Structure formats: C-alpha cells, structure tokens
C-alpha cells in the first residue's frame, strides 16, 4: 500500500519576532509528505514547481524516499509566499502571494500512483481535490484539509468533496465558519453530518479534538516555552496523522487517537525551526519519544 499526497510546493519568506528566512522550502505537499515519510513508504507526491525550484529541495525530498514522479516542473516561477508573524505568533500578516505556476495547477496522477490506498489532499481548490479522487482506482482512506478561502468561495464544491472523504482536518475558526455555529462541539456534529466519518479540529496551543460517531477525543498540546515558526504546523500534523495510519494499517477509532497524537508530535517538531529545518533530520525514535511525552502529559489514574 502507498500514500498519495497532493498539494502545493512553495518558496516561503517568513519573518518572526526572532529572525527571518527567505525563499525557504514550503507548501502543504512538502510538509505533509516530509512528516509522513517518517512512518512508512512509499510516499507519492503530486505537485507543481517552476524552473527556478532549487535542485537541493528536490534532493531533500528524494532523500526522504518521497517519490517525485508526480512533481511537474513547468515553465515559469515557483509559487512564492511571504508572511510576517507578530509577537503573538497566532497572528500573522500575509505580505505577498505569488501563485506563479501554481495558478494553473491541474493535478495529473501518474498511473503507478493511482493504486495508492491512502490519500492526503492538501489545502487546494476543492475542485482539484475532487479531480484527484476521480483519478484514483480504489482509495481506502482519504484525508483532506481546507481553509476559510474555500469555505467562503467554493462551498458547493467543498460540500461535494466532503461526501467522499473519511477525515476532514481543519482548525477551530474554520470549523465555526463551515458550520456557521460558534459552539465547537455542535459545529463538529454538523460537519460530520456533511459527510466525513471523522473530523479533527486543530486548536493550536490548546491541542486537537477528534470526533467520530461514538467518541470525542481530546489530544493535549505539547507545552512549548517558545515557538520559532508556526508555518506548516497544520500540514505537518496531517502528514504525521496519515503517515501513522498508513504505517499501522489500522483504521479503528482507538488507533485514530494515536494518529492524532503522532500528528501533534510531528507538528511540535515543525515549529521548532524555520521551514522544514526540524523535519529534515528527525528519527522515528525521537518521534516515538515525543509520543510518550504526550502520554505522560495527559494521563491520570485513580488509585484503587
């Protein structure tokens, strides 16, 4: 079994109160596939870059056993994004968005990739996310991400997509917007009625919630005295989540909880450095250690 990841690849220029970086490797497909690569292979990546995309970034992805047969190099420039985080890292300004070759992204899934049974649809136009699913032979498990922009501008297509995915991963403000309901627990029930069997709501420094037919699971956040750069944390979460499920091949609600914690663990590494700096050189042992730290953080038992 293989895992297909579709999304953006970008060159990110990021400024935080601590430091800044220019044209670093970014994009949803990048973070998702790098995070997933620590669990089980093969990871198939589908995306597009311009002719200016640095070879060292291609090498970095290849070294993580990410199959780049679906990475299309188009004439023109790579997608660029610039953002500036405030002292409160929950607030950021987008300084510029240059879509470049990403504007015409039309995902074509190579034959070999069409057999992948695990699919992670990064945050792109729901029309394209549907197009990806239409090309798959027999997807067993589909996870998708989206954002305010598509909830507001592509609601109908998004609702069509939601009937075809197993898990939707969004943050709390996106959940409230999608359900048009301020109470998160009520919003979660309403969103699950739109299609996805499982819903994950990410709450940043407050952890994440997993909703299924019978249970709610509350995953803690990793306590961090400083966050260096939050860019990509959400995508990294998704990559860790589906990577762990792909590795264990166990889609039970109990195992899904562990996957949420592995996603949170990967995201906690991601924010320690700029770009993919912290995701480049991890080991599965370190990931497991952090998983156990999450366990210690949230476990309580009454004496008999």
For position 207 contacting a second copy by CB under 8 A, the verdict is: yes
For position 51 contacting a second copy by CB under 8 A, the verdict is: no
- The one among 223, 283, 285, 304 contacting a second copy by CB under 8 A: 223
Task: State which of positions 154-173 bind a second copy (CB under 8 A).
Answer: none
Angle, to 10 degrees, between the axis of helix 233-248 and the axis of helix 253-270? 140
- The one among 97, 148, 215, 249 contacting a second copy by CB under 8 A: 215
Q: What are 9's strand-pairing partners?
A: none
CA Rg value for the chain: 18
For strands 198-202 and 208-211, give the pairing.
antiparallel
For position 148 contacting a second copy by CB under 8 A, the verdict is: no
For position 258 contacting a second copy by CB under 8 A, the verdict is: yes
For position 175 contacting a second copy by CB under 8 A, the verdict is: no
Is the CB of residue 32 less than 8 Å from the CB of residue 239? yes
- The one among 112, 155, 189, 286 contacting a second copy by CB under 8 A: 189
Is the CB of residue 5 less than 8 Å from the CB of residue 132? no
Joined tokens for residue 76 = 């023109």
Task: State which of positions 65-94 bind a second copy (CB under 8 A).
Answer: 87-88
Reported in sequence order, the residue ranges of the chain that DSSP labels E, i.e. its strands, are: 3-6, 10-15, 20-26, 43-50, 66-74, 80-85, 92-98, 118-121, 141-145, 167-171, 198-202, 208-211, 216-219
Joined tokens for residue 1 = 């079994």
From CA 81, how far away is CA 11, in angstroms rounded? Answer: 6
Q: What are 12's strand-pairing partners?
A: 24, 81
Beta carbon of residue 46, minimum distance to a second copy (angstroms, whole number): 31
x/- binding map, residues 226-245, to a second copy, per CB under 8 A?
Answer: x-------------------
Using the rule CB under 8 A, give the single segment among 76-84, 161-169, 179-187, 265-273 that binds a second copy: 179-187
Beta carbon of residue 124, minimum distance to a second copy (angstroms, whole number): 30
Joined tokens for residue 97 = 């968005």
Using the rule CB under 8 A, give the single segment among 73-81, 123-131, 248-256, 277-285 that binds a second copy: 248-256
Q: Is 135 or 248 the residue whose CB approaches a second copy more closely?
A: 248
For position 115 contacting a second copy by CB under 8 A, the verdict is: no
Beta carbon of residue 26, minimum distance to a second copy (angstroms, whole number): 24
For position 289 contacting a second copy by CB under 8 A, the verdict is: no
């Amino acid at each position: 079994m293989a895992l297909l990841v579709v999304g953006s690849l970008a060159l990110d220029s990021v400024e935080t109160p601590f430091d800044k970086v220019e044209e670093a490797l970014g994009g949803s497909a990048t973070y998702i596939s790098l995070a997933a690569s620590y669990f089980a292979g093969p990871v198939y990546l589908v995306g597009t870059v311009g002719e200016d995309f640095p070879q060292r970034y291609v090498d970095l992805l290849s070294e993580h056993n990410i199959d780049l047969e679906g990475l299309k190099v188009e004439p023109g420039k790579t997608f660029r994004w610039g953002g500036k985080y405030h002292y409160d890292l929950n607030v950021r300004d987008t300084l510029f968005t240059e879509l470049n070759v990403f504007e015409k992204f039309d995902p074509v899934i190579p034959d070999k990739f069409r057999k992948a049974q695990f699919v992670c649809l990064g945050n792109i136009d729901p029309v394209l996310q549907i197009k990806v699913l239409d090309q798959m032979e027999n997807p067993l498990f589909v996870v998708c991400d989206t954002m305010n922009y598509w909830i507001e501008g592509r609601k109908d297509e998004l609702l069509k997509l939601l009937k075809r995915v197993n898990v939707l991963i969004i943050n709390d403000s996106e959940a409230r917007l999608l359900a048009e309901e301020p109470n998160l627990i009520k919003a979660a029930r309403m969103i699950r009625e739109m299609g996805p069997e499982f819903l994950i709501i990410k709450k940043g420094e407050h952890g994440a919630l997993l909703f299924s037919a019978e249970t709610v699971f509350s995953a803690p956040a990793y306590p961090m005295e400083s966050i260096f750069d939050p860019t990509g944390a959400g995508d990294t979460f998704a990559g860790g989540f589906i990577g762990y499920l792909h590795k264990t091949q166990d889609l039970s609600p109990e195992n899904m909880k562990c996957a949420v914690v592995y996603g949170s663990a990967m995201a906690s590494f991601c924010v320690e450095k700029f770009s993919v700096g912290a995701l480049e050189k991890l080991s599965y042992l370190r990931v497991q250690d952090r998983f156990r730290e999450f366990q210690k953080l949230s476990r309580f038992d009454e004496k008999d």
